[in-house]
Chains A and B, each alone.
Chain A
Amino acid sequence: MPKNVRIKAKPAEGSGPTSGRAVSRRAPELAQSAIAFFNDYGASQVSLTKLSSHLKMTRGHLQYHFATNNDLYTALFELLDKDIRDVVSYRPPADSIEAIVQHQIQIQDCLWRHRYFFRDLDFLVHADRAIFNGYARLHEWVAGELVALAAHSHTALKIHIVYPEQLYGVAAENLWLMWTSRIRWEAISKGKKEMRGAKLDAFLRRLVADTFTFLAPFAPTAVRSGLLQSLDVGLSNLERAESRTKK
């Protein structure tokens, strides 16, 4: 055997959508630094050559970790999958509205960090069908988890749900579709501008407020105003939405 041929580590059993493909140890770390690059350029514009110069390494070196573009997409999807599962399965203290709002902001933050994925999903799925299967599984998992999260937050939110029980899943799926669709829309219209600090925070709060309207009819007045206070969005936000519609 030639000296410079390295044997890649065996993948863990059933890891992600492409189990069976070799994954190097540094791959997740590299994928992490590639996310911003994908957000800026769009998945269809990223090549291993461009990415390698961005990461200040040779193309060959990068190819040791990701043999093809599809390996890179898969590694990125696995990161997204893990991040979303981590943040959504977290349970904030059940009696604090502030904690619940913070948690919602973290979820939006996580989606926004991976915005290229929702924007370029069509391209990614064309490249590798397995990504869609993974995404569909994630979609289902999130819907189930959101029902559990709503039940958990019941003490603080005192939400009185009027749906028949079989519609809980539908409502949770609605919420997920609204989140991702809004993220996609925002990423299309202003994805290239990197937001930081207070601006990013205000933007994420607006996203939470927009989707929160979905829960509002179920919550008592005091809870609603408490939620809006911690979101710190007043009428100005709604006026903006009104003017957007009237245009």
Chain B
Amino acid sequence: MIAQRRKAPGRRKAEGAARLPRAQAETLSPVGAETNTKDRILEASLHLFNADGVEATSIAAISLRAGIAPGNLTYHFPKKREIIIEILARFEAAMDAINRDLLDGLVRGERSVTAAETVQFLVATMRAIWSNRFFFTSIPAMQDKVILARLSKIETRALSGISQLMQKALDVQVLAPLRYPNTTSVLAENVWHLLWGRIFFQRVGGGNSATLERAVVHKMLTHVGALIQPHTTPEFVTAFCDEINAR
């Protein structure tokens, strides 16, 4: 299998622009031959952790999927725990990227908050959580302080993103002034708990497709909509509902 993979780049060169069909390329190398070894290990681990849980995934299984020797794997990551920490660092970076790409321009700009952008942000956050779902199911059982600190950091990232969006909505009067004891941060915390509570329920219930199913996204958006509805303008609620139905 390894020999086959090594052949692949040469064959591609010979064929010029005509690349191998995607499915075929995937059978040659499970995670893509071009990426470097570290990336391949991380991708393979993430896939297996999500599919089977951390406990049930062995170093041997990861190296098999990544298409490298177990010795090579332990050279890069002596322990499974270190793989997890690295994956979590990337998860954190992904949350940062969502905040940067989808929120920064919106929060700093002069224009109003639209329902489309809100939905886009929520869906991006959900998908990021879903592609790291092992984290929300397997990690608690591990009781590892460093890893739990990461969980806390990721929660902070998500909360700050949702809070920023709410603060902006408040500034442009899409969100009505919040009445004590509601504050943007408490409301943001509730939205966050709703997102990962729902994803946890979905995952534990046996849902484990690679991408988040449309019906689940739909349901989750309805729930967030119900949570923020009493605080927002009727126009925003209507636009939000249209946005959900359009998806």
Contact = CB atoms under 8 A, between A and B. Distances in A.
B156 interface: yes
B57 interface: no
Interface stretch (B67-75, B102-110, B220-228): B220-228
Given A177-B197, A184-B140, A163 B229 contact: yes
A119 B181 CA distance: 28
Contacts of A211: 190
Nearest to B149: A189
A184 B190 CA distance: 14
Interface in B150-190: 151-152, 155-156, 159-160, 163, 179-183, 185-190
A210 B186 contact: yes
A241 B193 CA distance: 14
A55 interface: no
A119 B230 CA distance: 31
Interface string A119-163: 111110110000010001001000000000000000000000011
A139 B201 contact: yes
Interface stretch (B7-15, B111-119, B202-210): B202-210
Given A174-B194, A177-B197, A217 B204 contact: no
A162 B225 CA distance: 13
A163 B189 contact: no
A228 interface: yes
A192 B194 CA distance: 24
A136 B207 CA distance: 14
Contacts of B187: 213
A162 B190 contact: no
B51 to A, nearest CB: 12
B198 interface: yes
Contacts of B186: 210, 213, 238, 241
Given A167-B226, A209-B181, A136 B197 contact: no
B226 A216 contact: no
Nearest to B203: A122
A188 B200 CA distance: 14
A171 B181 CA distance: 19
B164 to A, nearest CB: 10
A44 B179 CA distance: 43
Most buried by A among B138, B140, B182: B140
Given A224-B181, A245-B156, A217 B227 contact: no
Interface in B28-68: 53, 55
Interface in A164-208: 167, 170-171, 173-174, 177-178, 180-182, 184-185, 187-189, 192
Nearest to A123: B141
Interface string A210-247: 11111011100100100010000100001001101111
Contacts of B55: 44
A216 B182 contact: yes
A228 B186 CA distance: 15
A213 B193 CA distance: 13
A100 B137 CA distance: 33
A28 interface: no
B231 A217 contact: yes
Nearest to B133: A122
Given A44-B55, A120-B141, A184-B140, A238 B223 contact: no
B229 A122 contact: no
Contacts of B222: 170
Given A120-B141, A132-B204, A217 B230 contact: yes
A178 B200 CA distance: 12
B185 A244 contact: yes
9 contacts: A119-B141, A122-B53, A167-B229, A210-B189, A211-B190, A214-B227, A216-B182, A245-B156, A245-B159
Q: Which 7 pairs, one residue from A and one from B, show the smallest C-beta to C-beta distance?
A: A181-B197, A122-B137, A177-B197, A181-B193, A245-B185, A217-B230, A170-B226
Given A213-B190, A216-B182, 17 more contacts: A119-B141, A120-B141, A163-B230, A174-B226, A178-B190, A185-B155, A187-B140, A210-B189, A213-B181, A217-B231, A224-B179, A224-B180, A228-B181, A238-B181, A244-B156, A244-B185, A245-B159
